[in-house]
Structure 1
Amino acid sequence: MNFLYPGFLFALLSVAIPIIIHLFNFRKFKKVYFSNVQLLKELEQQNSSREKLKNLLILLSRILAIIFLVLAFAQPYIPLNKQKTTILNNSVSIYIDNSYSMDAVNKDGSLLDEAKRNARELVKNFGLNDRFQLLTNDFEGKYQRLLSKEEFLKALDDVKISSANKTLQQILGRQSNILTGSANKYSFIISDFQKNVFNQKKLDAKQDIQYAFLKLNATTLPNIAIDSVWTLSPNHQPGASERLVVQLKNYSEEDAKNIPLKLSINNRQKAVNAVSILAGKTVKDTLSFSGLTAGWQKGMITIKDFPITFDDSLLFSFNVDENFQVLNINGSASQDYIKPLFSADKYYKLTNNVETNINYNNFSNYGLIVLNGLRNPSTGLAQQLKTYVNAGGILAVFPDLDVDVKTFNTFLSGLSLPSVSTLNTTATKVDKIDLKNPVFKSVFEEVPKNLDLPVVNRYFSFIESNKTNKEDILQLPGSKLFFAKYGLGQGQIYLSATSLNQTDGNFARHPIFVPLMYRLSLGAGSYDALYSTIGSENVLNSKNITIGKNQSLKLTSNQFESIPDVHFAEGRTLIYTADQIKNPGFYNLKLNDSLLAVYSFNSNRSESDMHYLSKTELNSLIGKSNLKIYDTEKDAVKLISGQNQIGQTLWKLCLILSLIFIAAEILLIRFFNNPKKTI
């Protein structure tokens, strides 16, 4: 047998009280002589031995009544599975769901307030020496420790609705980190249990922790949410036409008609529309706009939908470049068709380098790098270009057909490209073009039946062992490579089988070459995400940033400023925000007073689905013997300390026995050995 509150056993010293009373009230019989018995009106005849027995029984009843009353307060129990009876304190972790869905109301008020009330009741049922952890979706470090009862209740008052969202497995994992040692361990989850909290088949829970799920009941509400947004072009030019795709989802069981949809850029309305969505369905709508100036753009998509409003807006940001920088590296014998091509448009800023004078450090500044007939491409150049492409750059390779094949193959291998097998000198013509490729999108108003394609006099044939990351754009007879795209990291490499020299073919002078190169460059913008999600994305991407000595990057917003952790990898700067971002909004990345980037953060859309797991569904999903599930509206939540861990509680029996012995004392005093009376 064990005791939940062994400290109460000191009260057994009170047994001395009835013993002392008994000793001092012990009656002694003595003879009394009277001269005249007529003075006695009545004589009580008593037996001395029976009186002694009565007093002893009364004393025993009082002692046992006190003993069992003290034991009832100490709460004895029989441990499960014959556990070793040790005296342990309790460690309790209580999770309060403070996600957006807990802002909903029921007949008792908001769900968050109801959760706080339940938490207070839980804490009251534990002892003063027990310790508690308060856990919310924010996973704040200051609460990754055990608190006293008073500290817990004070911290509980500060819990507010948060945009963060965690799965049930993440919550239990966090609790198990704090519930260690030899104490009795208890985990309480107070939540409305939206279906999004459970994303796996079975729950991984520890056997030495007693779990209790307190399910709060909320009314299922209709909701329309802005699910996501993306642009159809990664390249943004000043004044150019833009198209933005917005995806909306109807989470309710009724159709939604004519939902107002509005697009704003830099607080200026750019497009409006009305969208209808069938029940439970998703729709996409394309918004067109123009008139942007160079610089970072802060966009917002909004709808009007009640009563759930936290997902009625979505923030995004992107940069409109004032110009697009192209690096053209020419070989000694190459004919330069790239310079007149990009010099005709003011948007493109072209830099020409010769093969013998290349500045590797500036590669990250260019959106497109063209290799035009390099005679001696080195492995060092290949390594630098690979880093550039992995970080999102675009590389176009036009070989010198008179290059040393062995040297060129080493260079191609460094870029994970196929190697050259032979040089073909038989004239032929391109016979296949992939008009569905994004490179040719909107190039042809109408595709002619007999499309004139480039003629080639000399070209390389390649040995291709892996075609998983390849897209053929132009092909020679026999499905041979002529111009193809290869994915590498976040960027792309375009490889040509022939050079741009006039003697090797008419590719550079063919009408298809100009739109091909322009479209290729227009696809060379940043494919970085337009926005991030609070709580799930803690790494921001940026172009390579040079930070001087005693300088640091800052992430700022309204009444917010932090110095993020910065890492450099493959020509990119990675900015780690950890859990510092708590609220939706725009955040500026600055170096001193210079604005480097604008990042937008939105709340997690998983909270938009206002459907909940029932108590039956929770039981079927979990099925753990050391877990109890309570419906706070229907079930009496029995959460007295130790009750969910012990095998058999004995405090009720002790209380009943105490009452029995008190009743026995009363009966003994009143009815035992009732004296006979004589006159």
Structure 2
Amino acid sequence: MNFLYPGFLFALLSVAIPVIIHLFNFRKFKKVYFSNVQLLKEVEQQNSSREKLKNFLILFSRILALIFLVLAFAQPYIPLKGQKTTNQNNSISIYIDNSYSMEAINKDGNLLDEAKRRAKELIEGFGVNDRFQLLTNDFEGKHQRLLNADEFLKALDDVQISAANRNLQQILNRQGNVLTGSVNKYSFIISDFQKNIAKGPTLSTKKDIQYAFIKLNATGLPNVAVDSVWTLSPNHQPGASEKLVVQLKNYSDEEATNIPLKLTINNQQKGLSAMTISAGKTKTDTLSFSGLKAGWKKGQIAIKDFPVTFDDTLSFSFKVDESLSVLSINGANAGNYIKALFAADNYYKLTENGENNINYSGFANYGLIVLNGLKNPSTGLVQQLKTYLNAGGAIVIFPDLDANIQTYNAFLSGLSLPIIQSLNTTETKVDQIDLQNPIFKTVFEDIPKNLDLPVAQRYFSFIESNSANKENILSFPGGKLFFAKYGAGNGAVYLSATGLNSGDGNLARHPVFVPLMYRLALNAGNETAMYYNLGNDNALASKKINLGKNQTLKLSAKNFEAIPEIRQVNGKTLIYIADQIKSAGFYNLNLADSLISVYAINSGRTESDMHYLSKTTLDNLAAESNLKVFDADKDAVKLIAGANKIGQTLWKLCLILSLIFIAAEILLIRFFNNPKKTI
């Protein structure tokens, strides 16, 4: 036998009180004078031995009543078979799932409210000296400490639905960080157990913690969500036609018909559509709009789908630039074709550097860098271009065909591009153009049968050992490289087999050259994410931001303001938000009074799938003997909150015995002392 609260055993010293009363309760006899023997007939005669027995029994009853009353407060129990007996207190961690799915309704009402009720029932099964951790998906710092019962219940009332979500292993690890020391440790997970909560076939648990999953049962609901959105061009011109691709997903087991979809930009309606989506499928739609002015734009895609609504909107942001900066690094014999091309459109702002006078520090400010006829590209240029590519930049290389091939190969190898095999001087015509490539996809309204393509008088032949990273845009016969795209870092390199001089061919004078370069520039910007998700994305990306002395960035929204941590990585500035942002919406990044960026933060879509793990699946996850699964509709919470966790409790028996001995004392005083009359 053991005691939950052995401290109360000190109260057994109170047993001395009735003993002291019994020992010092001496009766003083008073003399009564009488003159008539007749008065003796009325004197009550008591037997001396009978009186002593009565007093002893009363004392015994009082002592036992006190002993069992003290034991009731100490709460004795018999431990379960094989369980160590210990006088330690209990530490209990209770996780309340407060994700969006807990807004669902079942026969008992809102799931979050039911989870709170279950938590309160658990608390009632423990004692005043036990300590509790309240854990939610927010993983806040205040959740990393133990509370007494009153503090826990107060914190429990403050739990609200959150956009954050966690998997089971993250939750168990977080609880394990708090449940330490030489105490009895208990972990409770109260959740609807959506399928997304389990990330693996098994769970890692600690042997000294007793785990229990309490599964709440939700009513299955149909749901359609705005899954994602992206634009067909990373760069946006004022007044230009824009195309936005929207993807919806039907998470239900039935077809969703005529789901209305609306696009707004800066609170102005820009597009309407309706979509029918098969059960469990995704579907995309392309919305066209135009008429945008320069500046940051706040967009939103919205659908109408009840009763699950948290994923019916998706916010995004992008910037319409007044101009696109292009840098051309020219060799001695490069010619003026690049200058003439970009000077014809005011949207493009061209900067030219000579091969021997390159401003490396400004690379991050350009959406496109053109290497035009470089004679002797240096290793320093390679390193700067790699940093630029890692930041998402784009480079076009038109080689100087008279340059030293070995020098060029060292340059190309540094950028992980194919090396030159030889200079070919046989006139060859391009015979293939990829009209489905984003560069040309919207250029031609009608595709001519006999499309005129460029001719090369001289060109480099390349050793192409690996074509997995290659996209042919224009090709020679046999698929040989004429103009192709190669992925590099987070950016892209466009490599031409020929130069732009008239002696090299007619590419610079061919009609395909203008749309090729313009569309390449429009599709080659430093593309930034249109939106981020709460809980998943802890860093926001921006073009490189140069901060002066004592300057700081400020992230702000309605009723929100924070100074984020920043890091400069690969030509980008990363803004770390950690867990500072709690709600979806638009957030402005400012440097002093200047607006640097607008970020759209959305709730993640992991909670959109309203399918749940079965109790059987949870039982398979709970392979450890110290982890049990309980169905809230079938298993009483008191089974895990009370006796089941410690064995057979005896405090009720002790309380009953105390009352019995108090009653025995009363009966002894009332009926044992019956006087006899003698004559």
Normalising to structure 2: TM-score of the pair?
A: 0.89
SS of the equivalent of 2:621 reads helix
Aligned position for 2:350: 350
In structure 2, the residue matched to 1:598 is: 598
For 1:67 and 1:182, the matched residues in 2 are separated by 29
1:612 maps to what in 2? 612
What do residues 96-137 of structure 1 show as CA deviations (whole Å, max 9, x unaligned)? 222223334445443333333333343343333332222222
1:358 Cα shift?
1.1
Which residue of the partner structure matches residue 32 of structure 1?
A: none
Equivalent-residue separation in structure 2 for 1:465 and 1:60 (angstroms): 101
Q: Identify the range of structure 1 (589-598 vs 3-12) with the bigger mean alpha-carbon deviation.
A: 3-12
Written as runs of structure 1 = structure 2, the 5 A alignment for 1:259-278 is 259-278=259-278
Structure-1 separation of matches of 2:138 and 2:569: 29
Instruction: Tell me if the contact between 1:210 and 1:644 (Cα under 8 Å) persists in the aligned partners.
Output: no
Check the 8 A contact 2:44/2:675 in 1, yes or no.
no
Letter in 2 for 1:196: N
- Relative distance call for 1:508 and 1:22 in structure 2 (3 A) is same
Q: Within 5 A, what are the aligned runs for 1:208-247?
A: 208-247=208-247
Structure 1 residue 475: deviation in Å?
3.0
Summarize deviations over 1:632-666 as a string: whole Å, max 9, x none: 44432126877454355454565576677778889
Q: Secondary structure at the match of 1:605?
A: coil
Q: Hey, what's the Cα distance between the residues in 1 that align with 2:673 and 2:550?
A: 98
- 5 Å matches for 1:528-547? 528-547=528-547
2:367 corresponds in structure 1 to 367
The residue type equivalent to 2:328 in the other structure is N
Aligned-residue offset at 1:339: 1.6
Contact 1:247–1:285, Cα closer than 8 Å, also in 2: yes
- The answer for the alignment partner of 1:550 in structure 2 is 550
Q: Secondary structure of 1:269's partner? A: strand
Task: Report if aligned partners of 2:245, 2:284 keep a CA contact under 8 Å in 1.
Answer: yes
Q: What one-letter code is carried by the residue in structure 1 that aligns with 2:530? A: L
Query: Please, which moves more after superposition, 158-167 or 118-127?
Result: 118-127
Cα offset, 1:278, TM superposition: 3.3
User: In structure 2, what is the Cα distance between the partners aligned to 1:133 and 1:10?
Assistant: 30
* C-alpha displacement of 1:82: 5.4
Quote the Cα distance in structure 2 between the aligned partners of 1:426 and 1:278: 56
Which residue matches 1:31?
A: none
Contact 2:231 2:245 in 1 (8 A): yes
Distance 2:157 2:394 in 1: 54
1:312 deviates by 1.9
Q: In the alignment, is the contact (CA less than 8 A) between 2:540 and 2:575 conserved in 1?
A: yes
RMSD: 3.5
Query: Cα distance, 1:498 vs. partner?
Result: 1.9
> In the alignment, what sits opposite 1:576?
576
**Counterpart Cα distance in 1 of 2:41 and 2:640:** 63
State the shift of 1:573 in Å.
Answer: 0.7
SS in 2 for 1:102: helix
Report the more deviating stretch, 630-639 or 540-549.
630-639
Deviation at 1:15, TM superposition (A): 3.0
Which letter maps to 2:322? E
Deviation at 1:559, TM superposition (A): 1.6
User: Against the structure 1 CA distance between its residues 464 and 653, is the aligned structure 2 distance closer, same or farther, given a 3 Å change threshold?
Assistant: farther
Equivalent position of 1:462 in the other structure: 462
CA contact (8 A) 1:4 1:642 kept: no
Counterpart residue number, 1:321: 321
Deviation at 1:584, TM superposition (A): 1.3
Matched, 1:148 2:155: no
Instruction: Give the partner amino acid of 2:543.
Output: K
Shift of 1:451: 4.0
Report the Cα offset of residue 260 of structure 1: 2.1
Q: Deviations over 1:419-444 (max 9, x none)?
A: 22322333333344333332221333
In the alignment, what sits opposite 1:295? 295
Question: Match for residue 562 of structure 1?
Answer: 562
For structure 2, which runs of at least 5 residues remain unmatched after alignment? 28-35
What residue number does 1:198 align with? Answer: 198
What secondary structure does 1:187 align onto? strand
Contact 1:423 1:460 in 2 (8 A): yes
* Alignment CA distance shift 1:180-1:642 (3 Å): farther
Higher mean C-alpha displacement, 14-23 vs 210-219: 14-23
Partner of 2:308: 308
Q: CA–CA distance in 2 between the matches of 1:531 and 1:145?
A: 34
For residues 229-256 of structure 1, give each alpha carbon's deviation from its aligned partner in whole angstroms, at most 9, with x where no partner exists.
1112222111111111222223334433
Are 2:121 and 2:638, in contact at CA under 8 Å, matched by a contact in 1?
A: no
Report matched runs for 1:273-672 at 5 Å.
273-638=273-638, 643=643, 645-646=645-646, 648-651=648-651, 654=654
Question: Per-residue CA shift, 1:435-489, capped at 9, x if unaligned?
Answer: 3332221333444444443332332233334333222233334543222211012
Query: Residues 287 and 478 from structure 1, CA distance in 2 versus in 1: closer, same or farther, beyond 3 angstroms?
Result: closer
- CA-CA distance at 1:373 after TM superposition: 0.9
Shift of residue 502 of structure 1?
A: 1.8
Letter in 2 for 1:374: L
Task: Tell me what 2:164 maps to.
Answer: 164
Letter matched to residue 311 of structure 1: D
SS of equivalent residue, structure 2 residue 607: helix
Q: 2:264 touches 2:301 (CA, 8 Å); kept in 1?
A: yes
Aligned length in residues: 676
Which AA in structure 1 matches 2:628? K
Which whole-Å deviations, capped at 9, do the CAs of 1:196-226 have from their partners, x for residues lacking one? 3223222222221222333334333333322
Give the Cα separation in 1 of the matches to 2:289 and 2:526. Answer: 19
Q: Distance in 2 between matches of 1:611 and 1:305?
A: 17
Question: By how many angstroms is 1:614 displaced?
Answer: 4.2
Opposite residue 512 of structure 1, the aligned amino acid is V
Report SS of the residue matched to 2:519: helix
Kindly provide the CA deviation profile for residues 113-169 of structure 1, in whole angstroms up to 9, marking residues without a partner as x.
Answer: 333333334334333333222222222213322223333333233222222222222
How far the C-alpha of 1:578 sits from its partner, in A, is: 0.8
Instruction: Report the more deviating stretch, 236-245 or 601-610.
Output: 601-610
1:92 is matched with 92
Is the partner of 1:114 in helix, strand or coil? Answer: helix
Counterpart of 1:487, as a letter, is G
How much does 1:592 deviate?
A: 0.6
* Contact residue 250 and residue 282 of structure 2 kept, 8 A: yes
* Paired residue type of 2:376: N
SS in structure 2 at match of 1:547: coil
| Superposition deviation, residue 532 in structure 1 | 0.8
CA displacement 1:32-67 (0-9 Å, x = unmatched): xxx99998699999795x987787677556545543
Q: Is the 8 A contact 1:565 1:577 kept in 2?
A: yes
Residue 439 of structure 1 aligns to a residue in which SS? coil
Q: Distance in 1 between matches of 2:278 and 2:422?
A: 58
Give 1:574 deviation, angstroms.
0.5
Corresponding position of 2:31: none
Give the corresponding residue for 2:32. Answer: none
Structure 1 residues 442 and 205: alpha-carbon distance in aligned structure 2, compared to 1, 3 A threshold: same
1: distance between equivalents of 2:54 and 2:453?
123
SS of match in other structure, 1:504: coil
**Sequence identity, in percent?**
72
Give deviations 1:530-587, integer Å, cap 9, x for gaps: 1111111111111111111111111111121111111001111111111111111111
Deviates more, 1:266-275 or 1:211-220: 211-220
**Whole-Å Cα distance in 2 between the matches of residues 26 and 636 of structure 1?**
57
Q: Secondary structure at the match of 2:387?
A: helix
3-state SS in 1 of match to 2:453: coil
Where do 5+ consecutive residues of structure 1 fail to align? Answer: 28-34
* Corresponding residue for residue 7 of structure 1: 7
Q: CA–CA distance in 1 between the matches of 2:60 and 2:169?
A: 56
Deviation of residue 93 (structure 1)? 2.0
Task: Output the CA distance in 2 between the equivalents of 1:410 and 1:173.
Answer: 50
State the TM-score, normalizing by the size of structure 1.
Answer: 0.89
Q: Is the 8 A contact 2:123 2:641 kept in 1?
A: no
Structure 1 residue 184, shift from structure 2 partner: 1.8
